[in-house]
Amino acid sequence: MHALVLAFSSAAGGLLPSFAHAADAPRVITEPATTGEIIEVVRLDGTVNSLHSAELSVEIAGLVDTVFVETGDRVTAGMPLFELDDSLERLAVAGLEADRRQADSARQDAARRLEEARSVGAGRNIAETEVQARASAVEEAAARLASVSANLDRGRARLERHRLVAPFDGVITERHAERGEWVEPGEALVHLVDREALRLDFPVPQRYYRLLGEKAQLRYRVDGGADDWQRAAIDTMVPVTDSTARTFLLRGEPAESAGLLPGMAIEGRLRLPTGREGLTVARDAVQRYPDGRTTVWVIDDPEALTVAERQVTIERGYDERTVITDGIEAGDEVIVRGNEALERGMEVRVEDERGGEDD
C-alpha cells in the first residue's frame, strides 16, 4: 500500500483557517481504494466430530471376567478391552480337538485299508465290491473329519469372541461394565473415540450451495476463543439439504488437530467468490452518522495535502473490507486511520503503518 507523505503546513497571519495554525498537522494513514473480486463471507457455527467413534459391545453373551481399561485410557487397534469368562468354552474346544484327532486317525486308517486292497489287485485276490466299500469308507471318514474340523473352527471363533478388542486407535470416553456383570450382544461396554481423525462439521444455508467451488475457503476457530483463524481444507460437501433447517453439511479437515477435541463448538468463516468485481476500502475508513449518512475522507489535493469528505454508498463488506458502490473512484487515497476529527480543507501528514512518515 502506498501512503502519501504530507509535510506540516504552517499558517501565516490569519489568511488560513484557524485549524491550520496548529503546531502539527493531524497524522493519518491512507490507502488507495482498489477494485477486486467481491467475496461473500458466511459466518457458521459447527462442531468438531471424530471420523471414528463407536459404542463397542461383545458378540456373545457372557460374564465379564477381566476389565483392561478405564475411562480416559488411550488404546491402540487390537488392544484387549474386556474379557468374558471362557472356561466352559475352552473345555468345549478341547473336546472338539480330541474329536478331530480321532476323526483324522479314522480317515488315515480307512485310506490305508483302501491302499492295501488296491495293491493286491481288485477282482483277482479281493472282490471289487470290497474295494469299493473301502473307498466309500475313506470318503465317509474324510467327511467326518471335515465336519469335526468345522465345529472346532467354530468353537475357536466363539472362544476368541470372549475378548473385546479395540478396532482402532483412540481414547476410552465411557466405560459401562464392571467385572462380574452379565452382558449381552449389542449392549455397549465402552465408548471409543479417535481423537486424531477429526473433522469440522458445519450446517450451511442452502442458498450458498451454488457459490461453493474450487476457490471457496474455510477458516475456523474454537467458539468463544481468542485464537487466530485457522484454515481448513474443504473435505466433503454433502449435496443433500435438511428439509427442516434448509441447510447442507460442509465438512472441513483441519491442518492439525492440536487443541481440538471431539464435541467442541467452533466458529467458521466460509469465503465464497461471487464472480462480481467491486470497489473496496478498509472498514475503518468508513464513518457513519446518526442521520444515516455514510462517508469516507480522502486526500483531495495531493500537492497541498488537504482532505475532503465524500458521501458514499456501501454494500455489506467482507473480512476487514467494505464494498463502495458510489462516491469515490478506484485509486482515490482514502484515510483509514486518524479520520476521527478531520475538517474539510484541513492539511494532514500521512504516515505509514509502522509509525514513520512515508517519503
Domain ranges for the chain: 18-40+277-350, 86-161
User: In the structure, how many helices (H) and strands (E) does the chain have?
Assistant: 2, 22
pLDDT of res. 223:
80
SS3 state of residue 154: helix
pLDDT of res. 356:
52
Grid coordinates given for 109: 486308517
CATH architecture, domain 18-40+277-350: Beta Barrel (2.40)
Spatial strand order in the sheet of 53-56: 53-56, 190-193, 170-175, 74-75
Angle at 247 between CA 241 and CA 251, to 5 degrees: 90
Give the chain's end-to-end CA distance (angstroms, integer).
13
pLDDT of res. 15:
39
Spell out the residues 6+ positions from residue 340 whose beta carbon is closer than 8 angstroms to its own.
none
Full DSSP string of 189-209: -EEEE-SSSEEEEEEEEGGGG
Distance CA 324, CA 313 (A): 6
pLDDT of res. 11:
36
Is the pTM higher than 0.85? The answer reads: no
Grid coordinates given for 318: 467482507
Q: For residue 212, count CB atoms less than 10 angstroms from its CB and return exposed for 0-12, middle for 13-18, buried for 19 or more.
A: middle
Do strands 313-318 and 247-254 pair parallel, antiparallel, or not at all (unpaired)? unpaired
pLDDT averaged per 10 residues, the chain (length 359) = 36 40 73 88 92 93 95 95 94 95 94 85 74 90 95 94 94 94 94 92 91 89 80 87 84 85 92 87 90 91 87 84 89 89 88 58
Distance CA 297, CA 199 (A): 45
Q: Residue 296: which of 335, 259, 263 has the closest Cα?
A: 335
Distance CA 140, CA 118 (A): 18
